[in-house]
Amino acid sequence: MKQYLFTVLLTAAVTLALSWAVWRLSLRFKLYPGIRERDVHKTPTPRLGGIAMFLGVVTAFLVSSQHPFFQIFWADPRPVYAILAATALIVLVGVADDLWDLDWMIKLGAQFVAAGIIAWFGELQIYALPIGGIAVWSGWVSFTITVFAIVVVMNAVNFIDGLDGLVAGVCLIANGVFFAYSYLLVRDTGASSYFNLASFIAAVLIGACVGFLPLNWSPAKMFMGDSGALMLGLLMATSAIAITGQLDPAIIGDNDVFGRSQLLGAFIPILLPIVVVILPLLDFGLAVIRRMGAGRSPFSPDRKHLHHRMLDMGHSDRDAVLIFYAWTAVVSLAFLLMYIGTAQEWPGDYLLGVAFGVVGVVACLVVTLLPSRRTDATPKEAV
């Protein structure tokens, strides 16, 4: 655990220092776009925070390559190199879009290429799901599902990037829960070492979000832009696939490993990686349906995202962000408690997680639907 804590602190420190440097350079050389028609912020603000976050991530990977505790996933470096190459590609395209507003087809094409690099060259794919005991797909089916899953998560995370600190905070909470889950899952499956690629990526993303938040909290000095949001989505999807999509379905459905509830023992390892990004996925799905229903491109921007609707209800931007944090924490922690309950055979099994989720959801609904009528700020951009 000390090695993971070191990874978080290192990534956070490097990201914070580089975020400040990128912010100063962006202001000095005016490296920011003008106000677009769909933007609601009035002052041009740098959108290059993703560069600092990417360099923080790369630094953590480079340091891990020299650390004996992380040699378990450096023994075969191909997945790591594929992840870094795909991340570099998506960050470059994201930076170009942040500066010059690229056509959505170019960005989408780059996303599929980046996902393909991870699935093909990195050989990180969803090989099986524990449905009906065992289910193994052909190579092309596995590759296709993996690529589409990564692209969907990338866009889902990018779509909620509309308020100061929203994406960084939501991803911080989501990756914190996923880190705990992946760490415990490896332990429960009887692995000889707790050090694995999925947990390491989650720790790195926690550090990157912690390091960037000081400059991104309202009022934001800098946005992470498409480069940062797409990178977070890419790596979050990859970390989930790196562990859940490659588990042996027979082990996942084993009562001796996952407690008395075979059904939950089988499905929670699939559901929890999805649940931690449930709000971005929900917003993404609603946006696609809304835009295609209106005869527009699913990637055409508008101002009808969930965070926009919360502002229209009377929430301030900070209140809306904190409510998003609360929803993310409640839903993801509830499933984590359910997983721990089934694995450890707690009294009541997963009921503690269910009770926590019910109480948390009710509390979040009350806060969401009964806002304080303050509109002291507005979202930074429509995505």
Q: What is the C-alpha to C-alpha distance for residues 3 and 200, in angstroms, rounded to an integer?
A: 10
- 382 pLDDT higher than 60: no
In a domain, 35, yes or no: no
Structural domain range at position 220: 2-29+46-369
Q: Burial of 72 by CB count in 10 Å (0-12 exposed, 13-18 middle, 19+ buried)?
A: middle
- 377 pLDDT higher than 50: no
Q: What is the C-alpha to C-alpha distance for residues 283 and 305, in angstroms, rounded to an integer?
A: 6
The answer to whether 99 and 33 are in contact (CB under 8 A) is yes
- pLDDT value, residue 378: 45
- DSSP letter at 244 equals G
- 35 pLDDT higher than 70: no
- 303 pLDDT higher than 80: no
Look at the alpha carbons of 216, 14, 272, 274 in this order and tell me if their dihedral is positive or negative: positive
Contacts with 38 (C-beta within 8 Å, 6 or more apart), sequence order: 301, 302, 303, 381, 382
Number of domains present in the structure of the chain:
1
pLDDT digits (tens, 9 = 90+) for 155-165: 999 999 888 99
- pLDDT value, residue 194: 65
Selection from 130-134, 346-350, 371-375 with the highest mean pLDDT:
346-350
Q: What is the C-alpha to C-alpha distance for residues 361 and 178, in angstroms, rounded to an integer?
A: 20
Q: What is the C-alpha to C-alpha distance for residues 203 and 180, in angstroms, rounded to an integer?
A: 10
Contacts with 205 (C-beta within 8 Å, 6 or more apart), sequence order: 57, 171, 172, 175, 232, 235, 236, 239
In a domain, 152, yes or no: yes
In a domain, 381, yes or no: no
Q: What is the C-alpha to C-alpha distance for residues 340 and 357, in angstroms, rounded to an integer?
A: 14
- 379 pLDDT higher than 50: no
In a domain, 376, yes or no: no
Name the pTM for this structure: 0.89
- pLDDT value, residue 260: 44
Look at the alpha carbons of 160, 165, 170, 175 in this order and tell me if their dihedral is positive or negative: positive
pLDDT digits (tens, 9 = 90+) for 236-281: 999 988 887 656 555 555 555 544 444 454 556 566 777 878 888 8
- pLDDT value, residue 309: 86
Give the mean pLDDT of the chain.
84
In a domain, 38, yes or no: no
Res. 144 pLDDT band, cuts 50 70 90: very high
In a domain, 20, yes or no: yes
The answer to whether 175 and 209 are in contact (CB under 8 A) is yes
Q: What mean pLDDT comes out for the span 363-370? A: 89
In a domain, 40, yes or no: no
Q: What is the C-alpha to C-alpha distance for residues 334 and 207, in angstroms, rounded to an integer?
A: 23
Per the listing, tokens 């990004």 go with 277
Cis bond upstream, residue 219 (ω within 30): yes
